[in-house]
Amino acid sequence: MVDFVCRYTRCRLHACSMSITAMLDIAYKYVRYCLQLCSALFTHTSAILYTYAS
């Protein structure tokens, strides 16, 4: 019985850590995508402003 509980707990912890890792990975990709989008927009806007200013 104790062995089963230990194995079950270890399995749950592993699943939990896996899902946390997956969530962090998704969050990282999302943030990176947003940053790329923002930098692209910023570059684009700067180019437009520079064109109008000159």
Q: In this predicted model, what pLDDT tens digit does every residue of 1-52 receive, in sequence order?
A: 788 888 888 988 888 888 989 999 999 999 999 899 989 988 988 888 888 8
Residue 13 lies in a domain: no
Rg (CA), the chain: 23
pLDDT of 30 = 93
pLDDT of 24 = 93
d(CA 54, CA 49): 9
Torsions phi, psi of 43, nearest 5? -60, -45
31: helix, strand or coil:
helix
Residue 14 lies in a domain: no
Residue 11 lies in a domain: no
pLDDT of 32 = 95
Structurally, how many domains does the chain consist of?
1
Residue 1 lies in a domain: no
- Full residue range of the structural domain in which residue 29 is found: 24-54
The pTM is what?
Answer: 0.57
Q: How many CA atoms lie within 13 A of 3 on its CB side?
A: 0
